[in-house]
């Protein structure tokens, strides 16, 4: 992400560490996952800084906030159009890069102006499905 070089945001070691952790990350981490990961290198980092950086990235379209976990917000540094496959047991999230044809007739929109779309597939990941099988 060469974003911070172009715009007027201060690059700090903490932010660099967060960007490094997020770059190419496909684990859809929560704020606390990010905090824990960065804490390994920067034990003094605070959650406020993590939330602060997330906010800046979100505002500039570099990070998506996902509402796919009931318990906490999850973040996705992949901001290209894609969808998600979610394990309902362990909450693992996998990207699905497929374009679906989702036409909605005008009269079903009730006057809404569409700006985006997102498909969530629910299921059991291989690991969780295995555990379920063994318990039978």
Partner DNA sequence: TTCTCTGCAAATGCTTTGCAGAGGC
Partner DNA sequence: GCCTCTGCAAAGCATTTGCAGAGAA
Contacting DNA (CB under 7 A), which of 2, 6, 44, 134?
44
Question: Shortest approach of a copy of itself to residue 8 CB, angstroms?
Answer: 25
Is 22 a binding residue for DNA by CB under 7 A? The answer is: no
Using CB under 7 A as the binding rule, the residues of this chain from 75 to 134 that contact DNA are none
Site string for a copy of itself, 75-104 (x = CB under 8 A): ----------x-xx-----x-xxx-xxx-x
Question: What residues contact 129, with CB distance under 8 A and at least 6 apart?
Answer: none
Contact segment (CB under 8 A) with a copy of itself among 9-17, 40-48, 49-57, 115-123 equals 115-123
Please choose, from the candidates 50, 55, 43, 47, the residue with its C-alpha nearest in 3D space to the C-alpha of residue 12: 50
**Which C-beta is closer to DNA: that of 10 or that of 136?**
10
* Environment class of 26 (CB within 10 Å of its CB; exposed 0-12, middle 13-18, buried 19+): exposed
Distance CA 134, CA 136 (A): 5
């Amino acid at each position: 992400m060469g974003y911070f070089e172009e715009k007027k945001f201060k690059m700090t070691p903490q932010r660099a560490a967060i960007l490094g952790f997020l770059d190419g990350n496909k684990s859809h981490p929560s704020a606390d996952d990010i905090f824990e990961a960065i804490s390994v290198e920067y034990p003094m980092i605070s959650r406020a800084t993590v939330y602060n950086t997330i906010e800046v990235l979100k505002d500039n379209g570099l990070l998506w906030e996902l509402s796919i976990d009931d318990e906490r917000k999850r973040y996705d540094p992949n901001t290209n159009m894609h969808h998600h496959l979610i394990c309902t047991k362990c909450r693992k999230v996998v990207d699905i890069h497929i374009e679906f044809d989702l036409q909605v007739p005008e009269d079903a929109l009730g006057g809404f102006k569409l700006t985006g779309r997102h498909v969530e597939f629910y299921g059991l990941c291989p690991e969780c499905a295995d555990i379920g099988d063994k318990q039978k």
